[in-house]
Amino acid sequence: MRSTFAEHTLPNGLRVVCERMPRVSSAAVGFLVRTGARHERPHEHGVSHFLEHMCFKGTATRNWEQVNIRFSELGSMNNAFTSHEKTFYYGWLPADNVTEQIELLADMMRPRLAAEDYETERNVILEEIAMAADNFDHHVWKLLFETAFPAHPLAHEILGDKTDIAGMPRDVMCAYHAERYAANNMTLVASGGVDPEVVFAAAGRYCSDWRPAGRDAGRDVAATPLPTGRFQRVLPQFKQQSVVLVLPAVAQADPRSEVVEAFQSLFGGANSRCYWNIVQKGICTAAGAAWLDYSDVGMLALYADGEPERAEEMLAALQEQAERVMQDGFRDDEVQRVRNRRRTTLALEGENPRTRMMQVLDDISGYGMPRPAESRLAEVEAVTPQKISRYLADHPLTAEPLLLTAGPRDWLAGAREQVEA
């Protein structure tokens, strides 16, 4: 028996989306806030993630200990995350406790933002930023976003940087929360053994007094076209080198999304072209493709990581595999293997209320509406070598890329040195 969707919108604009999954005794519920790093103004860098932390620090009715203890009392496996375009808070627990979970999460959406908690959590964020500075991949991604989106909010680091966080007044967060956590900028999502009428009633009981607000279009700055050129960041503190070819790709919710997902696996997943022809030949330790998709822009990053002395060889190997794919495409048996793995992954996710909720969350964020799990599986089955070739004809891997390298070596001829922002 297939799952069924039900929707309701409160008078204040809060949207509620429920998916009832038959014969499931647990449920996952969460609040989506359509705000993230790309919605931050210059003096707010890092505030979205900082605010996520503060929502766990206490409300008008609970302190931080009571918030955490209540999750345990409900048997809830809870978490939250912030990205460039959204923030999400959720709990996964026995279905009988859904109403109580909604009450707790709704309470957290109206945090007290106390001054003493603010200073404590500021130090926690600063420690996270310091830890990120010790992570090589963090520096590579930072270089990618700063060069791909120059002077655009998508270049903002989700954590913010040390100076931003250290100097951010509490009233900046208070104003940001009042604007972005408005009822009409949020959605309550529920999946699993839920009765939609119970969820709707709980939303009305605990969220009906939330105020709506006009959305500031100035925060949704259109993404700029992907630039080209060569950039490098010399990082003498590390012992590995990364080479990245960045190319334009489709944005989130494009009808060809599953085609791009298949390409990622074919080019750089298990038993992929990069695995057998680059990694297994000892040229580098890792190589593949990453699709970065946002509401209005997408990009494909072909990457290789390895010893600094082999940077030229890694770049040549990536380019060779890209050229071979453009010339020969992929075989039927390769695509079938990827379809099989993708089908299994989606099926398993669709049977678990928490991972199914995340699928629904992605659909709401990208498509504006939830999609049945069966529709995703149908899109996977429709992927063929011919469709991948047609996509690559429109988005060729051999086009002039944004070429990046990060690591201890200064080796890329003609590259502009990118100093850490």
Per-residue model confidence (pLDDT) at position 224: 85
Contact 19, 3 (CB under 8 A): yes
Per-residue model confidence (pLDDT) at position 421: 65
Per-residue model confidence (pLDDT) at position 1: 42
In terms of pLDDT, which residue wins out, 213 or 321? 321
If you average pLDDT over residues 175-203, what whole number do you get? 97
pLDDT tens digits, residue range 252-308? 999 999 999 999 999 998 899 999 999 999 999 999 999 999 999 999 999 999 999
Please, what is the angle between helix 373-381 and helix 332-350, to 10°? 170
pLDDT tens digits, residue range 173-184? 999 999 999 999
- Report the percentage of the chain scoring pLDDT > 90: 92
**DSSP bridge pairs for 33:** 87, 186
The mean pLDDT of the chain is 95
Judge whether residue 102 has pLDDT over 60: yes
Judge whether residue 418 has pLDDT over 90: no
Report the C-alpha gap between 394 and 402 in whole angstroms.
Answer: 17
Judge whether residue 393 has pLDDT over 90: yes
pLDDT tens digits, residue range 54-68? 999 999 999 999 999
Of 186-200, 207-221, 252-266, 367-381, the one with minimum mean pLDDT is: 207-221
pLDDT tens digits, residue range 378-388? 999 999 999 99
Closest C-alpha to 38, from 256, 295, 278, 253: 295
Per-residue model confidence (pLDDT) at position 55: 98
Q: How far is CA 419 from the centre of its chain?
A: 26
Q: Identical fold at 4-219 and 229-417?
A: yes
If you average pLDDT over residues 196-217, what whole number do you get? 90
Residues sharing a CB contact under 8 Å with residue 410, sequence separation 6 or more, in sequence order: 232, 234, 417
Q: Burial-class residue 198 by CB neighbours within 10 Å (0-12, 13-18, 19+).
A: middle
Report the C-alpha gap between 112 and 402 in whole angstroms.
Answer: 44
If you average pLDDT over residues 127-133, what whole number do you get? 96
Judge whether residue 85 has pLDDT over 90: yes
Q: Which fold has domain 229-417?
A: Cytochrome Bc1 Complex; Chain A, domain 1 (3.30.830)
Phi-psi region of 368 (alpha: psi -120 to 50; beta: other; left: phi over 0): left
Q: How far is CA 323 from the centre of its chain?
A: 29
Domain 4-219 has CATH 3.40.640.10: no
Angle (CA) 111-113-116 rounded to 5° is: 140
Domain residue spans of the chain: 4-219, 229-417
Structure tokens that stand for 341 in this block: 């793995």
What is the CB-side half-sphere exposure of residue 406 using CA atoms within 13 A? 23
If you average pLDDT over residues 327-350, what whole number do you get? 95
If you average pLDDT over residues 9-21, what whole number do you get? 97
Judge whether residue 16 has pLDDT over 80: yes
What does residue 205 show for φ and ψ, rounded to 5 degrees?
-70, -40
The Cα-based distances of 375 to 1, 261, 353 in angstroms read 15, 15, 17
Closest C-alpha to 47, from 113, 145, 131: 113
If you average pLDDT over residues 350-355, what whole number do you get? 95
Closest C-alpha to 27, from 181, 188, 186: 188
